[in-house]
Every structure is written in C-alpha cells, then in structure tokens.
Structure 1
Amino acid sequence: MRLLLGILLPLLVVGALGEDVLERQRFAFESPFMLWLHAHSTPTLDRIALTLAVVGGIQVIAPLSAVLALVLWRRSHRSARFFVVAVLGAAALNGVMKLAFHRPRPELWPRLAQESGASFPSGHSMYSAAFVTTLMLLVWNTRWRWPAVVLGTLFTLAVGWSRIDLGVHYPTDVLAGWLSGVAWVLGVYGVYRPGAVRDGEHAA
C-alpha cells in the first residue's frame, strides 16, 4: 500500500502534470482559481502568507533540520541518516526538477513576494511535505503520531496555500511539490528502515 499509494500513484500524477508543463499546456482551472483566491484575500491573510513563506522555506527548515539531525544522531545513526537524506534529498530533487521543467512563474497580479527561479514544482511545498512526512515516520510508533499527523498536515497545507495566495506558484506547482516530497521520503524510508533500529542503538 505504501508503494502503490505513497510512491507510485503520486509519481504518476507528477509525471502527468510534468508532461503538460513541458508541452507548455495551460490548466484551465488555475488562473480563475488564483484570481478568485486573490479577490478574497485580506491584508491579514497576506501577512500570514508572507510569514509562512519564511517559516516554510529553506531558511528556517534547513537550520531546524540540522539541529534535529544532531539530536537524532545521539539516539540512532540510522534514523539520523534517514532524516538527512530524506530532507536534503528532497531539496536537491526539487532543484533538479525546476531545471528540467523550467516553468515560468505566474504573472496574474503584482506579487507580494519576489521569487526567482522556475515555478514547477513549488520548493516550499516540497520542503514542507518532505520535512513533515519524515517527522511523522520517525514518531509513528510513539504517542506523538497523531499530533504530528494533524499539525504536520495543517502546516503543509498552509504553506501550499501561501504560495498561491502570494501569486508565486500555480496550484499544480504546489500539488506536484507535495506529491514529490511525500513520494521521495517514503522511497528513502523503504531503503533506510529507521524503525529497524531501536532508540538508543547506533547503527554501524
């Protein structure tokens, strides 16, 4: 089920979206949806979106990931390696995908945040999805499972919304970022199997 629903199905969706992006096809629903969302935005929502752009970006997630990796290293080397490869690997994969697809960013209204680089897939969405999914897997067999699932999902959804609200990404950019991040982490999890080492043990 993890292979089918968590890896293969997301990759099929991302592949289908990516094919249309490469062919420069437009998704009919995106511009109307973004304009509707923009019309219903408020200064307060815009400030929240700008805050999420910082919190959900690599400038916050990267140092936080470094601290968590050090904490994990003291408990389980295998878990620490899984965490580093999952999170840093997602960032590297995002960069490669942006270069491959090179989709221009939306230009529907003056953007509230200046972003450079390609649009597909959303880096913020991919980072947050990978980071949250990694944490969920690491605490899955503990009492923190459901708090991590609920709070992590809400955080990832909020980061994705913020990218559209700020006008820096299309909805399909966000969707592809989420799916790619989750699929990557689940694939790495299948290789490292951090749960195979009990807390306190150090894998060679």
Structure 2
Amino acid sequence: MFSRLRTAASSSPAALLRLLLGILLPLLIVGFIGEDVLEHPRFTFESPLLLALHAHSTPLIDQLSLLLATVGGVAVIAPLSALIALGLWFYRRQAALFFVAAVLGAALLNGLMKLAFHRPRPALWPRLVTEGGASFPSGHSMYSAAFVVALILLVWRTRWRWPALVLGLAFTLAVGGSRLVLGVHYPTDVLAGWLTGTAWVLGSYNLLRPFSALKGGREPQAVSPNLP
C-alpha cells in the first residue's frame, strides 16, 4: 500500500502536495492529539472555549446547530452518498468505488477510533441533544469532511470545482462548529474529525486513482487537463 502511495505521489507535484500536506501532516496532528486523549488530560483551552460559545449562543444559533446536526449526520449523508455512488456507477465505476471507499471508509474508521480512544463527551451544561458513544473524533465532522472532499475531487476538472470548494468548506466548518455550540464535542474532537476525514479521502484518491484511464494509466485529457 505504501509503495502505491509513493508511486502516486511521484507522478505529479500536486500528488506530492496531497501526500505531504493532505495526508501525512493531518495524521501527525491527529496522532499528537490522540496521544493526549489516551492519557486522559484535558486541553486547558477547551472547556473555557465551549463555555464562551455557550454564553454567546442565541435561540437562532441553537436551532441552526440542531438542523446541521441532522443534515451533517449519517441519517442524511449516508443515503445521499448512496445516490451519488449509484449515479457515478453508470458514469465511471472507478469513481464510484472511490466515492464509496472514501465516505463509507471514513465512517468505519470513525467507529474504530471512537472505540480505541473512548473519550467521554463534555458535560458542561444541559444539552439540547442526547448523543451516545464516545467523543473523539467527532463523527459529524469526519463524515462531512470526507463527503465534501470526495465531491470536490470528483468535480475538480469541471467548472464546478470552485463553487464546490467554497460551499463544501463552509458546510464542513458549519457542521463542526455546530457540534461545539451544542456542547457534544470538544474542539479537538472536531479538529481530529476534519483532519482524519480529509486524510482518509486523499489517501483513497491516491491509491484508487478514480480517473486513471483503463489503459496505460494516463489521465484522459478529453475529460480534464487539470487534475488536482
């Protein structure tokens, strides 16, 4: 697997940048956070930050956060991802397989990480939602990041890449922020979710190469000359 990552990364400067900044650096940061989580200390800034957010929250912000909790969760992202994967299957099966591996793989990885770290959720005020399971990393943040990054990679060759990038980034940030407003995650849970989801999708992209040609391994120039 690592040899395939090195081969993919050596094929273009963009692929090398994905490997270094999109995969290795995020995983190093998550590893640093995860080490402290396993040792059970609390980052000193987290509780004061959550309390400050709660103090400045409004009923409108609370309602938007509850909406994002639904839209950014498995109940919406899973069926939407299934529809997208089905549509991709009739267009380019390799892209469909990449999308499934990216989104479903991120969900499975999140479940494994929650079992491994088993971090309790914050309990700083009476919450508007009841969430089960462990806190680290944030599932909503990880699902939304994986979903958005996978879509951005799929449309990067088209004129939709910048709208997808801007709207997708805004959506992912909003979903992660809503988890803090609702008090169901620590900031490092959300950060780890974003970074792990992004690294997983970029790693899947480098390994599966969803837009490589069937013969010769070259990108189809007719489809796009601007592969990220």
Task: Tell me, yes or no, if structure 1 residue 38 matches structure 2 residue 50.
Answer: no
Q: Which residue of 1 aligns with 2:139?
A: 123
Q: Which residue of 2 aligns with 1:168?
A: 184
Q: Which structure is larger by alpha-carbon Rg, 1 or 2?
A: 2
Higher RCO by CA contacts (8 Å cutoff, separation 6 or greater): 1
2:52 counterpart letter in structure 1: W
Task: Tell me, yes or no, if structure 1 residue 150 matches structure 2 residue 166.
Answer: yes
* Alpha-carbon offset, residue 126 of structure 1: 0.1
Q: Which residue of 1 aligns with 2:86?
A: 70
C-alpha distance in 2 between matches for 1:164 and 1:135: 25
* Alpha-carbon offset, residue 25 of structure 1: 1.1
1:63 counterpart letter in structure 2: P
Aligned identity (percent) is: 71
Q: Alignment partner for residue 107 of structure 1, among 123, 139, 156?
A: 123
Instruction: Give CA deviations for 1:86-126 in whole Å, capped at 9, x if unaligned.
Output: 00000000000000000000000011110000000000000
After TM superposition, the runs of 4+ consecutive aligned structure 1 residues lying more than 3 A away are 197-200
C-alpha distance in 2 between matches for 1:50 and 1:25: 29
The TM-score normalised by the length of structure 2 is 0.86
Q: Alignment partner for residue 93 of structure 1, among 87, 94, 109?
A: 109
Gap regions ≥5 residues in structure 2: 1-16, 214-219, 224-228
* Alpha-carbon offset, residue 150 of structure 1: 0.1
C-alpha distance in 2 between matches for 1:52 and 1:36: 20
Gap regions ≥5 residues in structure 1: none
Task: Tell me, yes or no, if structure 1 residue 180 matches structure 2 residue 199.
Answer: no
Q: How many residue pairs were aligned?
A: 200
RMSD over aligned Cα atoms: 1.1
Instruction: Give CA deviations for 1:152-199 in whole Å, capped at 9, x if unaligned.
Output: 000000000000000000000000000000000000000111121459
Q: Which residue of 2 aligns with 1:7?
A: 23
